[in-house]
A and B are shown apart, each in its own frame.
Chain A
Amino acid sequence: MIKIATRTAYGQTLAKLGEENPNIVVLDADLSKSTKTADFAKKFPERFFNAGIAEANLMGMAAGLAASGKVPFASTFAVFATGRAFEQVRNSIAYPKLNVKVAATHAGITVGEDGGSHQSVEDVSLMRSLPNLTVIVPADAVETEKAVRAAAEHQGPVYIRLGRLDLPVILPEDYEFKLGKAVALREGWDAAVFANGIMLALALEAAEALAREGIEVAVVNVSTVKPLDTATVAEVARQAGAVVTAEEHSIIGGLGSAIAEALVENCPVPMERVGLKDTFGESGSPWELMEKYGLTVGGIVDAVRRVYQRKAQG
């Protein structure tokens, strides 16, 4: 099976988009080989701007370019894009609703060996709290290409969360991605799993495993965390009556929180959140870390069993 990282798909898509849209410019902060913006830089050197190791100015320059009619993609690691430069994203991009696409790579603990200092577990939480900002967490290379294209066409600021790790492609080439739309990939009446990013593939595997036990689980890809597709989320939750969320992110403020907020107002059902339990990551190989922090098929299966039981107990 071909494996490809979402950051790689981002770089390839950006290089293609550069040909299609002359207004696209790309900025990076000395990480273009890692974020894969180097693909674009090689093809369109005059439209690529290295900010050097200066993330605040990276975002500020992107804002100024957007204010002058450009469509800037600004890339660095998620920790720096959303943490170091948080207030620049807030005040220079989100507040004036400028057309900047913050495409951050190396999100989550699958950064691996670099350790907790470089593993962003709070970026979705931070970005989701900013008005005007759209937040997307693509699951694989296929969805990344579609999400990056949709972001380029969308008028307004977008945050795209990308990963370092090579991943299997799980979505079909003709997968229909629509900004702001959650997509049910599997039907089920016993429980529902809402997942995104790397956890979507694990959620689908968990549903397979549970089906063998006779528990039918719906799996929904919530790649747009904001604006959340509350209608679809509530409808699936109502049908399933029990919900699990799965994300490679802190359970505070990310997908799990977004779903909980939507359900508590629209359709409260037994719910559990699979994610990092209010902890930083550490050094290690990506899949060992996923195991250690419970971001596994088994982790999702167990959570589904528990919410399914709570539902049965009424």
Chain B
Amino acid sequence: MNQTKLEELASRALSMRRMIIEMLAASKSGHPGGSLSAVEIVATLYFAAMQVDPANPHQPDRDRFVLSKGHAAPVLYSALAEKGFFPREELLTLRKTGSHLQGHPDMKKTPGVDMSTGSLGQGISAAVGMALAGKLDKKDYRVYALLGDGECEEGMVWEAAMAASHYKLDNLTTFLDYNGLQIDGPVQEVMNPTPLDQKFQAFGWEVIQIDGHNFQEIWDALEKARGTKGKPTMIIARTVKGKGVSFMENQAGWHGNAPNAEQAAQALAELGGGK
């Protein structure tokens, strides 16, 4: 990835982080921690990897993205707005009555959302179905999904993992946002899902471990996944929950609480880049 692209992605990511804070402050509810941890992953997908057309969101040959950890909807909405699927101002309607930006992604309401998610474990399974359809139709599109680490406590994730390798879905690439925290605390204390790398390897996946905030590492992993044949790829991305906002970083308490006006102002000041 060249320097220009890296700089573009960094600027997209900053813009997305600002949008996440702004929309959550406006909605007064929602999930900042797991949205901020996935910014670099989602930015790389939408601004470097995926073939999508905001003017034609249902184009059948497009790449697909399923946000299996659907509570991180703000990170997806920020990418879609940044990409031009809908006007940026609409982000401030997040979670409000009548808005097309639901608390969790809704494919019927929001242009660019490929699957309704939010109930954990279900998104990756739908992504497996999409990848099966791609194989059946001999299409070249790729299917991407983003799992949470706490989400891997859901049994359904492992049903889907089994099926993805059984059906040799090398057109499916999944990120695991390994930020280490869930609502009740550290994942290893609440219900230890580790070792996640060995588990997915044992389920027949190609597993790559990266720093989930490093664009070059994300890009290289995606390239490797593209070249992997006969099995799906799991990119385990080490991330920091609440990344970019000092008082939110590594705090389980910021999983599902929106910043108030003062906290939002502080977060935006820390992030910088405002006009």
Contact present for B108 and A64 (CB under 8 Å) = no
Residue of A nearest to B113 (CB): A96
Q: A60-B160, A70-B133, A88-B122 given. 20 additional CB < 8 A pairs?
A: A25-B133, A49-B132, A52-B159, A52-B162, A54-B163, A56-B159, A60-B125, A60-B126, A60-B129, A61-B132, A61-B160, A63-B125, A63-B126, A64-B66, A64-B127, A65-B129, A65-B130, A65-B132, A92-B119, A96-B116
Which B residues touch A87, using CB under 8 A? 119, 122
Given A57-B156, A96-B106, decide whether A69 and B60 contact each other with a Cβ distance below 8 A. Answer: yes
Contact present for A63 and B129 (CB under 8 Å) = yes
- Say yes or no for B121: interface residue by CB 8 A criterion: yes
Query: Which of B125, B127, B136 lies at the interface centre, i.e. has the most chain A CB atoms within 10 A of its CB?
Result: B125
Residue of B nearest to A27 (CB): B129
Residue of A nearest to B128 (CB): A61
- Say yes or no for B191: interface residue by CB 8 A criterion: no
How far apart sit A68 and B128, CA to CA, in the bound complex (Å)?
Answer: 11
Nearest-Cβ distance from residue A18 to partner chain B, whole angstroms: 13
Given A64-B115, A67-B114, decide whether A47 and B125 contact each other with a Cβ distance below 8 A. Answer: no
How far apart sit A163 and B170, CA to CA, in the bound complex (Å)?
Answer: 38
Query: Residues on B close to A: CB < 8 A?
Result: 60, 64, 66, 106-108, 114-116, 118-119, 121-122, 124-134, 136-137, 155-156, 159-160, 162-163, 166-167
Contact present for B118 and A91 (CB under 8 Å) = yes
Contact present for A54 and B159 (CB under 8 Å) = yes
Which B residues touch A72, using CB under 8 A? 129
- Say yes or no for A97: interface residue by CB 8 A criterion: yes
Given A49-B167, A51-B163, decide whether A64 and B126 contact each other with a Cβ distance below 8 A. Answer: yes
Interface size range of chain A in the complex: 20 to 34
- Say yes or no for A46: interface residue by CB 8 A criterion: yes
Which B residues touch A56, using CB under 8 A? 121-122, 125, 155-156, 159
How far apart sit A96 and B70, CA to CA, in the bound complex (Å)?
Answer: 14
Query: Residues on A close to B: CB < 8 A?
Result: 25, 46-47, 49, 51-52, 54, 56-57, 59-70, 72, 87-88, 91-92, 95-97
Residue of A nearest to B143 (CB): A64
Which A residues touch B126, using CB under 8 A? 60-61, 63-64, 67, 92
26 inter-chain pairs at a CB distance below 8 angstroms, sorted by A residue, are A51-B159, A52-B162, A52-B166, A56-B156, A56-B159, A60-B122, A60-B125, A60-B159, A61-B129, A61-B160, A62-B129, A63-B122, A63-B126, A64-B66, A64-B115, A67-B126, A68-B133, A68-B134, A68-B137, A69-B133, A70-B133, A87-B122, A88-B125, A91-B122, A96-B108, A97-B108
Nearest-Cβ distance from residue A23 to partner chain B, whole angstroms: 10
Contact present for A68 and B115 (CB under 8 Å) = no
Which A residues touch B128, using CB under 8 A? 57, 60-61, 64
9 closest A-B pairs by beta carbon, nearest first, are: A64-B129, A60-B125, A68-B133, A57-B159, A64-B126, A54-B159, A61-B129, A96-B116, A64-B130
How far apart sit A66 and B135, CA to CA, in the bound complex (Å)?
Answer: 14
Contact present for B163 and A68 (CB under 8 Å) = no
Which A residues touch B106, using CB under 8 A? 95-96
- Interface residues of chain B: helix, strand, loop or mixed (majority): helix
How far apart sit A47 and B163, CA to CA, in the bound complex (Å)?
Answer: 15
Residue of A nearest to B141 (CB): A68
How far apart sit A66 and B121, CA to CA, in the bound complex (Å)?
Answer: 18
Nearest-Cβ distance from residue B185 to partner chain A, whole angstroms: 25
How far apart sit A97 and B106, CA to CA, in the bound complex (Å)?
Answer: 11
Contact present for B125 and A25 (CB under 8 Å) = no
Which A residues touch B118, using CB under 8 A? 91
Residue of B nearest to A56 (CB): B156
Contact present for A68 and B129 (CB under 8 Å) = yes
Nearest-Cβ distance from residue A311 to partner chain B, whole angstroms: 46
Which A residues touch B64, using CB under 8 A? 68
Given A60-B126, A61-B125, A67-B126, decide whether A54 and B119 contact each other with a Cβ distance below 8 A. Answer: no
Nearest-Cβ distance from residue A245 to partner chain B, whole angstroms: 34
Contact present for B107 and A61 (CB under 8 Å) = no
How far apart sit A69 and B134, CA to CA, in the bound complex (Å)?
Answer: 10
Nearest-Cβ distance from residue B36 to partner chain A, whole angstroms: 25
Which A residues touch B66, using CB under 8 A? 64
How far apart sit A68 and B59, CA to CA, in the bound complex (Å)?
Answer: 10
Nearest-Cβ distance from residue B7 to partner chain A, whole angstroms: 35
Which A residues touch B130, using CB under 8 A? 64-65, 67-68
How far apart sit A131 and B204, CA to CA, in the bound complex (Å)?
Answer: 38
Nearest-Cβ distance from residue A75 to partner chain B, whole angstroms: 15
How far apart sit A299 and B91, CA to CA, in the bound complex (Å)?
Answer: 60
Nearest-Cβ distance from residue B118 to partner chain A, whole angstroms: 7
How far apart sit A54 and B154, CA to CA, in the bound complex (Å)?
Answer: 13
Given A96-B115, A97-B108, decide whether A64 and B156 contact each other with a Cβ distance below 8 A. Answer: no
How far apart sit A72 and B128, CA to CA, in the bound complex (Å)?
Answer: 14
Which A residues touch B156, using CB under 8 A? 56-57, 60, 88
Which B residues touch A60, using CB under 8 A? 122, 124-126, 128-129, 156, 159-160
Contact present for B107 and A96 (CB under 8 Å) = yes
Which A residues touch B162, using CB under 8 A? 52, 54, 57
Contact present for B116 and A92 (CB under 8 Å) = yes
Nearest-Cβ distance from residue A77 to partner chain B, whole angstroms: 17
Residue of A nearest to B121 (CB): A56
